[in-house]
Structures are given as structure tokens and as C-alpha cells.
Structure 1
Amino acid sequence: MASAVQTAFDTAERARHFRFSDLEAEGWQPFVARHAAGLSLADIEALAEAIGKQVGYEPGSDLRSFVRRIGGNLSTSLIGDLSDASPTGLYVRSASTDFLIAIPAASSSRFDQFMVAKALAHYFLHFRSAGHSSRRKVENGDISAIEQEAVIFAVTFLMPSAAFEHAFARTGGDIAALAAHFRVPVAVAEVRVKRFSVPIERAHA
């Protein structure tokens, strides 16, 4: 059961509802990645861990307040008027590194945690690296490579290797316990276990 403090925090975090026209008027546009970063999954994991350390993210802490701390913006999409629906995810401004992350008005804090991390992945991998020479264009609308990059970045950012290995050993690899520890959906913890299982097996072989 959520504490009174956490309930109050969630209410405050969701205080600013918006419509797409509100964001558009402020110069925000939904970011749609057109190019994959072109990095190996191992390089993406290394980048996610490096950025997490650089910006001082503490695994398991609330990512929504963290976004504001690093200068980002966070808003909650308004549910109701479908003619002015507000897409969730990453928003950016033209000729600027400003970013805003829109989360659904009705979702769990664990889902929000992953959604925010995935938006950060698109920001660092696909928006800020616009001039990176290794980027490759995604043909025929196939966004699977872009989404895979974002998911691997997000999962690693939320559950970096050292913290995850320690939690894995402490919980005996229990998926539900790992998800609760890092405040992520169970499905996200499962992805991390699958990515992390090879180095764990090698380390203990």
C-alpha cells in the first residue's frame, strides 16, 4: 500500500495536465526517431551506464523527479478530448536541446519509470546524436532497431550492472523482487535478467 507521502508526491507530479495544442503553442513537438544509433547493444549498455553515473542517477529512485533535476520537463497527458489527444513520450524544441517527457494520466509509477527511461534513451541515442557518423537510416518504416536500442538503454540505465548483480545475488534472481527493488514492471526486470544472464553464467562458470 502506498504511503501518504508517496500518494501526495504522485498527485503533485501529475498536477500539470496538457493537451497537444498547449505543447505546440509552447514550441514542443513529439520526437520521432528516423535513424538508429548504429551502436552494438553492448556499446548502448556501456553508454547508458556511463550517462547514469555522469548525471548521478541512483538506481531504484524515482526517475520523474530526476528528470526535472537534470533540467528536463515532465508533464501528464490529458485524457478526454480525443480530437486533441496528446501523444506520450519525448517532446523537443527546434534548434534546442530542451526536452519534455509526457507520461499517461492513468498508469502505474513502475510503468512511468520505464516510459521515462525509454524517452531518455531516445533523447540521448537518437536526438542528441543527430550528427553521429554511425547512425543508419531505418528503411520502410521499420522501427524495430530504434525501439530495441531504446529498450536496452532504458533497462540498463534503470538497472546498471553492478547494482543489478548485487540485487540478483541478494534476491536469488527472483523476478518480482528485482522489479520491486528497482521500481520497474516485472516484464522489464525479465529483459534485464535475460541480458545479464550470460555474464553472470560466465562469471560463475
Structure 2
Amino acid sequence: MKSILTVIAICTIVISCNKKNINTTKEAFNLYGRGNELLIKNYQTFEKNILKSYDSINVFYGDKQLFCYNEKENNVGIFRSCGLYFSQSHSFDTIAITNHNDKCIIPFFLSKKTQLVNEKEFNIKGVNYKIFHYSEQIDSHKSFDSYYLKDRGFICYYNFDTDKYIFSNEVPKLLKDYIISDRDFFARYTMAKLFPNYYRVKSKKNSLW
């Protein structure tokens, strides 16, 4: 808890010092179940403060602010900070990124290990959307998959253990439908091919994890 409060304090200081030049956007994520049914609308909300050299992101569960983190991107990959210093969290090639910092909050900071699985472009009404699919390892027994829209940010987190996912409701519906139904790209199907007899422990209805 102390580390979370420290991160929030740092983010607050950074934001307050730059508030005159901040462009703020909000992005809500809905929680979906095994049949793609909507379980909770606006399950999580990301409030992004776009600063000069990085974005400061506040994460809310309902109306409660949980924590914040900083993120930036270059041609190599994605970098995040759990305080004052940035570490690479995701690569745009197949290099695995290993993290030894245990003070970060999963899945929004650094997992223990992330690796690009594949990437794909979807054309929606003449617009191309490039999506990166990552495998993110929490520990030796738990992992999840994430989907990143190039030049925008993460739009989906999928947990194979529960067969639930959160998806940005700011993304075009057709793009969402294409991704979650793509049997060669969405982890629900690709993981099922690898583990056809996987046994799932019953999870809470209102939880991704």
C-alpha cells in the first residue's frame, strides 16, 4: 500500500506542475464473460493526461481511483514507470522483456515477463489498425494476454484462467468483433489449441482475475 501511495503522490506532483498544458482523455473498459456477454459496463476507466514527453495515466475501478503510472512509446517499444524511472515493458519485436521490480501493479505496470506473440492489421472501413498481441507472465503459474493498438495504447486484457476479458469501449465495434472472433489471433482460441483439456477454477463474476 505504501508503494501505491508513493506512486500516486509522484503522479499528482507531475500532473499539478504541468496542468496548464495538459490534454486529458478518458477511456472506459467493459468486462466480458465466456460467451462475450457484458458483465460490467465501465469496469475500469483510464484517464490519460498527455504531457510533453510521456502520458500520465490514472486508473479507476468504478468511481475509485486505484493508482496511476507513466507511459511512453518509441520505435523500440513501450516504456512505463513505477516512480521516477522508466523501464521497457513491451517490445515491438519478439524480444522477451524480463522485469525484476516487484513493486509494480499488474497488469498495468510491468509483468514479470512480456513477449510479443504476433501482430496483425485489421482494415475497418478503409482505416488500418495495427494490433500487437502480448503474452504477459505474472509468475510461474499465472499469465494473461494483452492487445495493444499502435499509436493509441492497450485496448484489451484477456485472462485464459477465467476466460474473461476487458475491452476498450472507445474502439470501433467492428474492430472489437474481428479481434475477439479471430481464431488465429485471440488468445481464447489459440490457448485452447495448446491446452485442450485445461481445467478452469470457478472465478468471481465481477472479476477479471
TM (norm. structure 1) is: 0.26
TM-score, normalisation: structure 2 = 0.26
* More strand per residue: 2
Q: Which has the higher helix share?
A: 1
